[in-house]
């Protein structure tokens, strides 16, 4: 093991400058799902290329049919050292409802929210700009301290993670030679709690689907036609209400094919984390799990599949009242997957269910929004164990191995397309409000995140 003292000290002493750089990136409104922000996405990519180039990386912006990829390499550690691919994303979620933000989402700031507890506020602070910059700043400190990195590093930042990553697979395929490494490092996850770092070893998959129900060829007056004309909102509500039975299980035929019961020793290790429904849900003003009955809250979010309605709209939704029967109504629906559930089979089952539920005169239109299967990583790899040790050195409490409720499709793509497992380490916290107004990232997460990557990269370098 190299002496890490100089690099860690550089990370500490340079924190203010690291924050300045992060704020520059946060100020760019790189909302990938909204075409209005296309130029901003490219600007974020350009900024990262310039930053990595100044660090001595061989960096470039690669065009795609969507937003561009940032690809950067520093292999000065030499061919005998391990090769890691670091992945992050520079795009962010939309910011609506804007009126709920306490400060403008793209004007990052430091805010002391409790004595000694400072956070960085703004869209993308936690998901994922703050996280990816922990790695960039760790590379900066290591290079400044030792003149080179402890292992070969390739960096891939994409700009479409929040909109289904449509360009990613073709890009991985076209650039497999550049991207294939010994393993991937992915920084887009959370700590177990503010004192306890976590490594995620199981991730749920995702199927995104939009359905639009159409009835009459125009909006109708509910006085003139009410009672006679089909109402697409009523039809849609009935279809959505039928997705779950009374025990909280999803009703689609075949939905649970490929879902396995979590091994009892894994469930037992989760029990030791001391999480309760009241605690987990209490942070967001809830208390009772709404999913399948008879399962712990961690099992529900880490190891059970779901159907959720993410958005719905139809008819008149402005101020006041309009006695209209809408011509159409639509909903965005997503399914979280576990085990070996087949995303395409589930999409097909959903569409078949909707079609079979349609009353006379109604049509359904579907629009696909991405699909990825669930991921299960090996619990016993040398990489996992050495990363666990490195993290445990940095933080007050030892690192834990956990599941993840959210999908990180790239991990599956790395596994299937490049034959490469991933190490999932991130420094988000459960109250970071990612995807919501007032997103934040703890200053501690950023600072100790940088220090954590210094330790992990060093540990990886020792494996050569």
Binding to a second copy in span 115-174, by CB under 8 A: 162-164
Provide the minimum distance between the beta carbon of 334 and a second copy in the complex, in angstroms, as a whole number.
6
User: Which CB, 56 or 104, lies closer to a second copy?
Assistant: 104
Task: Supply the Cα-derived Rg of the chain in whole angstroms.
Answer: 23
Residue 264 or 317: which CB sits closer to a second copy? 317
Among 304, 388, 447, 451, binds a second copy (CB under 8 A): 304
Going by the DSSP 8-state scheme, the letter that residue 107 receives in this structure is S
Tokens, residue 312: 């719905």
Secondary structure class of 89 (helix, strand, coil): strand
CA angle 214-220-225, nearest 5°? Answer: 105
- Find the binder of a second copy among 222, 269, 385, 464 (CB under 8 A): 222
Site string for a second copy, 32-71 (x = CB under 8 A): xxxx------------------------------------
Q: Which position has the token pair 């719905």?
A: 312
Nearer to a second copy, 372 or 386 (CB): 372
Binding to a second copy, residues 406-445 (CB under 8 A): 406-407, 430, 433-437
**H or E segment and range at residue 331:** strand 328-337
Residues in the chain: 464
Considering beta carbons, is residue 330 or 341 the nearer one to a second copy? 330
What's phi and psi for 271, nearest 5 deg?
Answer: -60, -35
Whole-angstrom distance, CA of residue 384 vs CA of residue 387: 5
Binding mask 246-285 for a second copy (x = CB under 8 A): -------------------------------x--xx--xx
- What is the token pair recorded at 135? 């790695």
Shortest distance, CB of residue 383 to a second copy, whole angstroms? 24
Q: Does 325 bind a second copy (CB under 8 A)?
A: yes
Which of 50, 103, 224, 268 touches a second copy (CB under 8 A)? 224
User: Is the distance from CB of 352 to CB of 209 less than 8 angstroms?
Assistant: no
Interaction between residue 319 and a second copy (CB under 8 A): yes
Question: Using the rule CB under 8 A, is 226 a contact of a second copy?
Answer: yes
| Per CB under 8 A, 244 contacts a second copy | yes
The sign of the torsion formed by the CA atoms of 132, 409, 425, 124 equals positive
Specify the residue for token string 């860690």: 8
Dist. CA 11–CA 457, nearest whole Å? 14
Helix (H) / strand (E) element for 111: namely strand 109-114
Assess 105 for contact with a second copy (CB under 8 A): no
Shortest distance in whole angstroms from residue 319 CB to a second copy: 6
405 binds a second copy (CB under 8 A): yes
């Amino acid at each position: 093991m190299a002496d890490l003292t100089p690099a860690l000290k550089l990370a500490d002493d340079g924190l203010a400058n690291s924050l300045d750089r992060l704020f520059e990136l946060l100020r760019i409104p790189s909302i990938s799902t909204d075409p209005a922000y296309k130029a901003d996405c490219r600007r974020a990519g350009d900024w990262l290329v310039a930053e990595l180039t100044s660090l001595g990386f061989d960096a470039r912006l690669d065009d795609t049919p969507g937003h561009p990829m940032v690809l950067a390499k520093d292999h000065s550690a030499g061919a005998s050292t391990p090769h890691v691919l670091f992945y992050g994303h520079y795009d962010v979620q939309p910011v609506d409802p804007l009126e709920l933000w306490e400060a403008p989402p793209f004007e990052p700031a430091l805010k002391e929210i409790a004595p000694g507890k400072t956070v960085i506020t703004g869209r993308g602070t936690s998901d994922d700009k703050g996280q990816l910059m922990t790695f960039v700043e760790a590379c900066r400190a290591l290079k400044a301290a030792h003149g080179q990195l402890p292992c070969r590093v390739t960096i891939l930042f994409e700009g479409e993670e929040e909109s289904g990553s449509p360009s990613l697979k073709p890009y991985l395929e076209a650039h497999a030679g550049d991207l294939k490494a010994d393993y991937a490092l992915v920084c887009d996850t959370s700590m177990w709690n503010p004192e306890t770092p976590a490594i995620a070893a199981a991730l749920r998959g995702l199927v995104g689907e939009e359905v639009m129900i159409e009835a009459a060829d125009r909006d109708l007056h509910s006085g003139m036609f009410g009672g006679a004309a089909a109402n697409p909102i009523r039809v849609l509500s009935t279809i959505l209400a039928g997705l779950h039975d009374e025990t909280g299980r999803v009703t689609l035929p075949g939905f649970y094919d490929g879902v396995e019961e979590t091994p009892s020793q894994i469930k037992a290790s989760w029990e030791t984390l001391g999480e309760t429904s009241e605690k987990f849900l209490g942070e967001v003003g809830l208390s009772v799990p709404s999913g399948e009955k008879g399962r712990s809250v961690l099992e529900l979010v880490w190891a059970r599949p779901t159907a959720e309605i993410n958005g719905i709209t139809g008819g008149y939704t402005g101020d006041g009242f309009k006695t209209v029967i809408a011509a159409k109504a639509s909903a965005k629906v997503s399914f979280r997957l576990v085990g070996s559930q087949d995303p395409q089979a589930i999409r097909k089952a959903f569409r078949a269910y909707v079609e079979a539920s349609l009353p006379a005169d109604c049509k359904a239109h579907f629009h696909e929004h991405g699909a990825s299967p669930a991921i299960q990583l090996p619990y016993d790899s040398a990489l996992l164990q050495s990363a666990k040790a490195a993290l445990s050195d940095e933080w007050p409490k030892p690192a834990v191995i956990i599941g993840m409720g959210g999908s990180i499709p790239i991990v599956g793509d790395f596994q299937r397309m490049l034959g490469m497992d991933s190490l999932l380490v991130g420094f988000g916290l459960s109250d970071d409000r990612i995807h919501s107004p007032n997103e934040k990232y703890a200053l501690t997460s950023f600072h100790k995140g940088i220090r954590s990557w210094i330790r992990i990269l060093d540990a990886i370098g020792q494996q050569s």
